[in-house]
Amino acid sequence: MVKGNFMCYDSVDSQAHHKRLSELAAEMIARALTGFTQIAVHNPLQKDSNNCGLFVCLFFWKRLSRDVGSDYTDEGLARRRWQILHAVVNFQASKKNEETTN
């Protein structure tokens, strides 16, 4: 019985990176995540060497929300950066408000 998926994602889609990610995932599944299935994810892909953090954030964000969008132009990526910053700032503000009311 499959309990869940263990996704391996590399934003530059390097074969060497996927091989290492696969090895790490297999070890983690064997030790602690019995019943999980390993899946290699090959998109979205970055086209430069400085957007890896943004792409990893987008990968996880897409798992939580359908409102992320898929515009990977320079303008679209700049918009995503601001959206992530906005989400983090709003989350921090809401946590502070929550702490003061409790």
Looking at every residue in the chain, the average pLDDT score rounds to 88
Q: Is 58 exposed, middle or buried (0-12, 13-18, 19+ CB in 10 A)?
A: buried
What tens digit of pLDDT does each residue of 15-48 get? 999 999 999 999 999 999 999 999 999 988 999 8
Rounded distance between C-alpha atoms, residue 100 and residue 44, angstroms: 39
Q: What is the mean pLDDT of residues 37-60?
A: 90
Domain co-membership, 38 together with 53: no
Average pLDDT over residues 52-67: 86
Residues 77 and 33 in one domain: no
Average pLDDT estimate for 1-13: 90
* Residues 58 and 23 placed together within one structural domain of the fold: no
Does 56 lie in the same domain as 83?
yes
